[in-house]
Structure 1
Amino acid sequence: MNELPVVLIVDDEPSARQTMEMLLMREGYQLSFAADAYEALAHLDDEDEALPDVILLDVMMPGMDGFVLCQRLKQNPNYQHIPIILVTALDSKQDLARGLEAGADDFLHKPYHGLELRARVRSMLRIKKRHDALQVALQLRQDLANMIVHDIRSPLSSILIACDLLEPQLTDTENLEMIRSEASRLSAFLTDMLMLAKMEDGRLILSRSKVNINHMAVSVYDSFSPEAHLKNIQFVLDLPPQAPVVSVDANLWRRVMDNLVSNAIKFSPTNGVVTLRVSAGAEDSLKIEVIDEGPGIPAEHQETIFDKYKIISAGQRDVKQVGLGLAFCKMVVDAHNGRIFVTPNQPKGSVFTVIL
């Protein structure tokens, strides 16, 4: 928030704007004015103007009324955090409900008293101040998490290098392979975290190239076949005769397929079957399915598993399904203008489907 709180007054009546200015002038606010909704939008889009901390918005305006403007602002990620006080002479419950549906944070009914106006503005400023403080705290936490991820990568790389150096000196490498496997999993987890941070900050740029999906699927199959064999899981690869070639970021897309197959093997029971299937979808789209026979995903969690903040029990002892890998998949698929979703497998298990 600025040193002086910024209050934007939007009203098509010059006398109404002047009245509000007089009632608020001693409060120490920086006041801005707009004569209609379009002028208000232009003010908000002007990079030279400070974003308001509170908007006083008249409802009855020509062209675009206050309800519509309020709804537009609350749908815009850049402005939805700004508290809006609707100023109106309308007092029916229908009008109140319409204002709430539009996203209004408070109401000021005409004719209003200066004491009430000032109290409502102060109330909204307190809410905005708490919001700003929370955003700063969340950003600090995110920055700290990113620093920790970067710092962990160096010792992790040392562990993997040490595994390679030790291997020729050992006759029984089973435990060494376990160390290498778990360190590689942790490395992949850290990579996903860094990628997620870049995507959320808008710093990730897709490096698209023509990719033969059949070739990539075979590579995924070869990578995970040993892990499936150790669990006595039958890993099936189902590819179309005509190999699909699509324009994607090859590294990110490989991470998506790796995450989905890794989850399928991890949650499938011994002697189960995991299938990686590539096929043509409707209207020449690409369809990738990863099918398992695990505990399945409850219907109420089929959306939340793609949320990185959700942790859902997969129904197996000592195994938890964490949403980070799936959240990464969703963000990558969304960045490619595709879709990812999960449906039940029959008689049990899940089918994760990606359509591009």
Structure 2
Amino acid sequence: MDTQPSILVIDDEPDNFDVVEALLDGENYQLYYTPSGQQALDRLSSFQPDLILLDVMMPDLDGMEVCKRIKADPQWQAVPIIMATALTAKEDLARCLGTGADDFISKPLNGVELRARVNSMLRIKQHYDSLQVLLKLREDMVNMIVHDLRNPLASIVLAAEILRFPHLSSEQQQMKVEQIRLAGQQLQALINSLLIMAKLESGKMVLNYSEVNLNTICTSALTDVEVMASQKKIALMSELTESHAIVKIDALIFRRVLDNLLNNAIKFSPSNSQVKLTAECLPTGGAKLQVADSGPGVKEDLRQIIFEKYEIGTLMPEVSQIGLGLAFCKIAIEAHQGTIFVEDNYPRGTIFTVLLPGE
């Protein structure tokens, strides 16, 4: 675990806490103590430990009642509870588990058993926490995908409705058909990126390497974003390597990386600015590609985060941002055994650099 797991010991005898502390010495746990069940319940309103070690036999509120109340509250249900008890009858132990306890340990405590049971419960808690993070990411992903799907879908529906009007000229009809085509391509690109990224992450996609002319693939990528750039009055610049330069890559995957980088650069650059694609072969083998824009730039503390799934850098109004494009680029480039990083494009903007290894 990255941080010290926290353990709350609830026991009316302070000496018992000293025993627990001694038995868990050197285990890198953060131990907390409270002498009564009621105090523990009050404390949980502002503090949630990773594990509770709960004594059964306590005055006022006994351990079974405390356990029952903790497990009845949704915000505490996931915290594992180990009940420490001198009871030995199977019926009593069954009652402990019946109140919602996750495990029990007999008194007097044995160090080997205590450490094993604590480790077991903390491992389960860690798995639970990891699952919650995954579920939260999935929820965020769904929300962002739904948000980004709305624009192209709305464009398709609106254009299709307008095409039903009988008085449209052939030129107007053609414009609406083109609008539908472009929106459909946006949807298809998003879905394809999600599928390819899932395969790359799972290791189920084997890259289809072939020898590709670096100039040709860069020129093709620039040609495909010309319309998008012209709509924003952005000049596309290029500085490409010698015409016979060859790299060994998966052409389809790598082309999608270029598409993502160029599309991002155009989306985030202001009108009447420029986006530049540079490509060169390295003396040591391999190649270096850079996409430079004139956008708002990426703060230094975000330069790693933006390559994680569902994370974005600078929020901009009217700019579709799903937080998947750069994550895809990173996964795809690393699958090629390469690297990708971002730096400042002085005086304004960013430069995304891709380094591909030689054979």
Please give the range of the TM-score, normalised by the shorter of the 2 chains: 0.5 to 0.7
Aligned to 2:270: 269
1:208 matched to 2:203? The reply is no
Distance 1:267 1:140, change over 3 A: closer
Aligned to 1:75: none
Give 1:95-244 correspondences, 5 Å limit.
115-133=110-128, 170-172=170-172, 173-244=174-245
User: Is the partner of 1:278 in helix, strand or coil?
Assistant: strand
Distance of 2:189 and 2:309 partners within structure 1: 16
Aligned to 2:323: 323
Select between 222-231 and 116-125 the one with higher mean Cα deviation.
116-125
Flag structure 2 segments of 5+ consecutive residues without an equivalent: 1-107
1:119 to partner: Cα distance: 2.4
1:129 to partner: Cα distance: 1.9
1:305 to partner: Cα distance: 0.8
Distance 1:169 1:352, change over 3 A: same
Kept after mapping to 2: 8 A contact 1:280/1:286: yes
Kept after mapping to 2: 8 A contact 1:311/1:320: no
Aligned to 2:353: 353
TM-score, length basis structure 2:
0.57
Aligned to 1:310: 311
Distance of 2:137 and 2:268 partners within structure 1: 30
Q: After superposition, give the CA deviation of every residue in 1:166-221 in whole Å (9 maximum; x if it has no partner).
A: 79995313344333323312221111111111122111111111111111111111
Aligned to 1:278: 279
Aligned to 2:252: 251
Distance 1:198 1:341, change over 3 A: same
Kindly provide the amino acid, as one letter, of the partner of residue 112 in structure 2.
L
Distance of 1:129 and 1:123 partners within structure 2: 10
Select between 271-280 and 166-175 the one with higher mean Cα deviation.
166-175
Distance of 1:209 and 1:174 partners within structure 2: 38
CA RMSD of aligned residues (A): 3.2
1:323 to partner: Cα distance: 3.1
Kept after mapping to 2: 8 A contact 1:289/1:351: yes
1:239 to partner: Cα distance: 1.4
1:295 matched to 2:296? The reply is yes
Aligned-residue sequence identity (percent) comes to: 35
1:227 to partner: Cα distance: 1.0
User: Is the partner of 2:171 in helix, strand or coil?
Assistant: coil
Kept after mapping to 2: 8 A contact 1:309/1:323: yes
User: Is the partner of 1:283 in helix, strand or coil?
Assistant: coil
Aligned length: 232
Distance of 1:124 and 1:323 partners within structure 2: 36
Kept after mapping to 2: 8 A contact 1:209/1:247: yes
Q: After superposition, give the CA deviation of every residue in 1:52-102 in whole Å (9 maximum; x if it has no partner).
A: xxxxxxxxxxxxxxxxxxxxxxxxxxxxxxxxxxxxxxxxxxxxxxxxxxx
Determine which structure has greater relative contact order: mean sequence separation of CA pairs < 8 Å that are 6+ residues apart, divided by chain length: 2
Distance of 1:330 and 1:282 partners within structure 2: 24
Kept after mapping to 2: 8 A contact 1:313/1:321: no
1:242 to partner: Cα distance: 3.8
Distance 1:300 1:138, change over 3 A: closer
Kept after mapping to 2: 8 A contact 1:341/1:354: yes
Distance of 2:262 and 2:132 partners within structure 1: 36
Aligned to 2:104: none
Kept after mapping to 1: 8 A contact 2:215/2:242: no
Kept after mapping to 1: 8 A contact 2:296/2:349: yes
1:302 to partner: Cα distance: 1.0
- Higher-Rg structure is 2
Distance 1:285 1:137, change over 3 A: same
Kept after mapping to 1: 8 A contact 2:293/2:349: yes
Flag structure 1 segments of 5+ consecutive residues without an equivalent: 1-112
TM-score, length basis structure 1:
0.58
